[in-house]
Structure 1
Amino acid sequence: MAGNISQAGQSVASRTLSLLGAFDTTHRRLTLTEMARRADLPVPTAYRLVNELQEWGALTRTATGEYVIGRRLWDVGLLAPTQTGLREIASPFLHDLYGATLSTVHLAVREGTQALYLDRLAGHASVPVVSKIGSRLPLHATGVGKVLLAYAPASVQAEVLSHLQRVTAHTVVHAGVLKAQLARVHRDGYATTVEEMTLGACSVAVPVFREETVVAALGLVVPTLKRDKLRLVSALHVAAQGISRSLCGATPGTARPTFG
């Protein structure tokens, strides 16, 4: 069950939040009955609250009768400081990076033991990927995730290393191998993956610093890393340094990156 608060003693607010919490990356469309079950609420109660959420714009009912997260809830979520500050500052650098590489560009932060994707740019020529803005993917199987994991607290690293799950046949699930990769992130300044999250997709990513702290990871997804890896790493570092300078007080949009 997605709802983890017992029905007894629940406030209206907690019941409403339980309904919204029924949605996740693997449950993006739910019927009323499914929402009630996952929120551990009686269907009549769920029906009343869902109607109110739909009227406010937090939920939208599809033509097939299922419910999805509504635009208004998304708009409210964009007001979160993590979203607005970092995304706005990083946006021009992401666009320049995409223009220079024509590859899928990712900006992600760590949320617990997952990589939360704050922004994503892609075009028709980009490699198909599973990531979407707002999606959460495993730290150990993505380029941006490995960067974030390399700079995560020891307790987070220990938790991830003890629960390595295979996503594709190429996903690194041996703790010793992953530890060595994380050490190389500190040594080399970047992380790579080869078809670990999606077959046919490789990634390279670098850290974004705010002073001495890594606050995000910037990555590219390409068909192969056999060619132009160093050029891609260089482009990523220039963009990441531009974002870092802006985060440390420069006016967003200045110090734009120039790619060779």
Structure 2
Amino acid sequence: MDVSHDGKSTDKERPRARGHRTTHGEALLDRAFRMLTCFGPDTPVLSLSSLATRADLPKATALRLVRQLVDQAALERTPSGHYTIGLRLLEIASLAPRGHGLRALALPYMQDLWHATRQHVQLVVREGLQCVLVERLSARDSTRIPYRVGGRMPLHFTAPGLVLLAFAPTEVQEEFHAIEWPDDEEGLTNTGDALRARLAAIRRDRFAVLSRPLWGVPTSGVATPILDRNSTTIAALSVVTPSEQIQPAAHVPAMVVAARAITRVVATELTWETLQ
């Protein structure tokens, strides 16, 4: 039973605005995760009212959830009375083998690649029909890119995403192709038969090259797969450069050498099924 804003008890919560569904009977865990995902790069600190609005929950329900999340250190309360993500989530996330575990093994080789290229060097894994940036090394004067560590990236409009899609299981590829994806923010199209042909070429060459403007700046990315001991692609290593300064393919040999080195150490150190 929930408490309404006027202090009276009510058996049902207010309907959700999206889809006119109610939150009655919705799992507590679902609500809690919905609140946690309200935070982002542009909204690292939120008030209770903002959390309730963004999570589409009654304020009383949001308050109960926030208190529980603060008790578990998943959220922290700021001196101003607002809320931010707690360190407990970082502690838990650091145990993810596809995240920090893979990052720890790959980082020395990523650093070598960064010293050789002085460009963005990225480690990316697939999560469903998107990919997640696990780590990035960047020079101070590197061209700006819109993806942050821990953030999601599109599969078909990034070089590492294309690699991960090209080497994904057949059922994942077919699920991806069955969706009518919109063009990217620059109006570029990379779907249908053209995408299938591109993925076939990536499987043949074992690397991807993709040039596209980011925030109006001509940018190119190259990427290649990282494998586990079963020769299953578990991640992609990539280099991102400004297109007008250097031919992106010039970085492919060094990138491939680094990816093979990471593959060797991954085959030895990481054997969990979660990497497959």
- Could you state the TM-score of these two structures normalised by the residue count of structure 2? 0.78
Are residues 64 and 236 of structure 1, via their aligned partners in 2, closer, same or farther at CA, if it must alter by over 3 Å?
Answer: farther
Query: AA paired with 2:147?
Result: S
Mean CA deviation greater in 22-31 or 173-182: 22-31
User: Deviations along 1:182-203, whole A, 9 cap, x unmatched?
Assistant: 1110111111111165542211
- Residue 60 (structure 1) shift: 4.1
In structure 2, C-alpha distance between the alignment counterparts of 1:218 and 1:202, rounded to whole Å: 14
Larger Rg: 2
Q: Specify the alignment match of 1:254 in structure 2.
A: none
Tell whether 2:243 aligns with 1:224.
Answer: yes
Gaps of 5+ in 1: 252-260
**Residue 102 of structure 1: aligned partner:** 118
Paired position in structure 2 for 1:256? none
User: Do the aligned partners of residues 11 and 3 (structure 1) sit closer, same or farther apart at CA in structure 2, a change above 3 Å counting?
Assistant: farther
Q: Does structure 1 retain, via aligned residues, the 8 Å contact 2:221–2:248?
A: no
Which one-letter code corresponds to 2:115 in the other structure? G
Counterpart CA distance in 2 for 1:189 and 1:178 is 16
The separation in 1 between residues aligned to 2:162 and 2:244, in whole angstroms, is 16
| Corresponding residue for residue 13 of structure 2 | none
Instruction: Provide the C-alpha distance between the structure 2 equivalents of 1:146 and 1:115, rounded to a whole number of angstroms.
Output: 10
How far off its partner does 1:96 sit?
Answer: 0.9
Query: Alpha carbons of 1:41 and 1:229: their partners in 2 closer, same or farther (altered >3 Å)?
Result: closer
- 1:186 equivalent in alignment to 2:203: yes
1:85: which partner in 2?
Answer: 101
Q: Contact between 2:155 and 2:162, CA under 8 Å: does it hold in 1?
A: yes
1:19 pairs, out of 15, 24, 35, with 35
Aligned to 1:165: 182
Give me the whole-angstrom Cα distance separating, in 1, the residues matched to 2:138 and 2:118: 7
Counterpart amino acid of residue 112 in structure 1: G
Q: Which amino acid aligns with 1:172?
A: T
In 1: Cα distance, 2:244 partner to 2:199 partner: 18
Aligned pair in 2 of structure 1 residues 38, 229: CA closer, same or farther (>3 Å)? closer
Q: CA deviation at 1:78?
A: 1.6
Corresponding residue of 2:140: 124
Q: Deviation at 1:137?
A: 1.0
Per-residue CA deviations over 1:91-119 (Å, capped at 9, x if unaligned) read: 10111111111101110111000011111
Out of 141, 162, 165, the position equivalent to 1:149 is 165
Looking at structure 2, the residues matched to 216 and 2 of structure 1 have their Cα atoms a distance apart, in angstroms, of: 38
| C-alpha contact 2:46 2:83 (8 A) present in aligned 1 | yes
Would you say how many aligned residue pairs link Structure 1 and Structure 2?
A: 251
| Contact residue 141 and residue 197 of structure 1 kept, 8 A | no
What TM-score do you get using the length of structure 1 for normalisation?
A: 0.83
**Could you say if the C-alpha distance between residues 195 and 26 of structure 1 is closer, same or farther in structure 2, counting changes exceeding 3 Å?**
farther
SS class of match (1:141)? coil
Post-superposition Cα deviations, 1:220-249, rounded to whole Å, max 9, x if no partner, equal: 110017844343000110000000000111
Q: Is the 8 Å Cα contact of residues 2 and 21 (structure 1) preserved in structure 2?
A: no
Structure 2 stretches lacking a partner, 5+ long: 1-15, 271-276
Whether the aligned pair in 2 keeps the contact of 1:109 and 1:215 (CA below 8 Å) is: yes
Structure 1 residues 138 and 2, CA, compared in 2 at 3 Å: closer, same or farther?
A: farther
Secondary structure of 2:57's counterpart equals coil
Q: Is the 8 A contact 2:94 2:101 kept in 1?
A: no
Tell me, in whole angstroms, the C-alpha distance in 1 between the residues paired with 2:242 and 2:150. Answer: 23
